Amino acid sequence: MNATMEPQVQSPQPGNPGLRRLAFRGLGTHCEVQYQSRQPDSAGPFEQAVRERTEQHPDWGEYIHAYWRRWDEMLGGLIPGMEGLVGELRAAGAALYAITNWSAETFPLARERFPLLGVFDGAVVVSGEVGLVKPEPRIYELALERFGLRPEQCLFIDDNEPNVAGARRVGIAATRFVDAATLRAHPAVAAHLVTP
């Protein structure tokens, strides 16, 4: 099994509880959902998207800018249990690859904070670097090409059901991530963790 997964770091969480609420209120209420998932990742620099949305929603400009300027404060921690599970899979010889919808500007900040993001085989396919975003079929195809894999060799893991469905559309077995314990019990994962 080759596991292709979304790096399992929690979504941005604030050190200041009001910051996330305000930033997402400005982004989610007054900006289309694409701003949060697609635009900063695949359609150009994050700062450009912030500028465009601020022009469209000037009353929310402060919050939109706060999301970008204080992004590192909102970055959550590793999802409980994932560091151990990834370590066990690596020790068992499972190949691990990653596709993420993060922006080219924010992924390096997360990689610096979380060394676990550097354990994947090959370079992580980052939406903001390749101009593609999950669940578009082409990003999965690019990952398969880049890593020299066939769809039937892989298990794709993601916490977003549309991304799971996107992987399935290109012939990759996929499962929705709920938590580390549930993933550990997945037959393809559990098979790698069984010691002879």
Q: Give the tens place of pLDDT for each residue, 142-174.
A: 999 999 999 999 999 999 999 999 999 999 999
**pLDDT beyond 70 at 4:** no
Residue of higher predicted confidence among 177 and 30: 177
Per the CB < 8 A criterion, the answer to whether 97 and 122 are in contact is yes
Beta bridge partners of 175: 157
Q: Give the domain extent around 94.
A: 2-11+77-193
> Would you state the pLDDT for residue 150?
94
The pair of three-digit structure tokens given for residue 107, joined into one six-digit string = 């992924």
**pLDDT beyond 60 at 181:** yes
Domain holding 135: CATH number? 3.40.50.1000
Q: Where are the alpha helices (DSSP H) in the chain?
A: 17-24, 30, 33-37, 39-42, 46-56, 61-69, 71-74, 82-91, 107-113, 127-130, 137-147, 161-169, 180-185, 187-193
* Predicted confidence band of residue 139 (pLDDT cuts 50, 70, 90): very high
Domain boundary among 74, 97, 121: 74
- Reported as half-sphere exposure (CB side, CA atoms, 13 A), residue 61 has a value of 7
**One domain, residues 134 and 187:** yes
Per the CB < 8 A criterion, the answer to whether 100 and 37 are in contact is no
Per the CB < 8 A criterion, the answer to whether 187 and 181 are in contact is no
**One domain, residues 31 and 47:** yes
**One domain, residues 81 and 67:** no
Which percentage of the chain shows pLDDT scores above 70? 77
- Reported as half-sphere exposure (CB side, CA atoms, 13 A), residue 94 has a value of 24
Fill in the amino acid letter for 67.
Y
Total count of domains within the chain = 2
Crossing angle, helix 17-24 and helix 61-69, to 10 degrees? Answer: 120
56 burial via Cβ count (<10 Å: 0-12, 13-18, 19+): middle
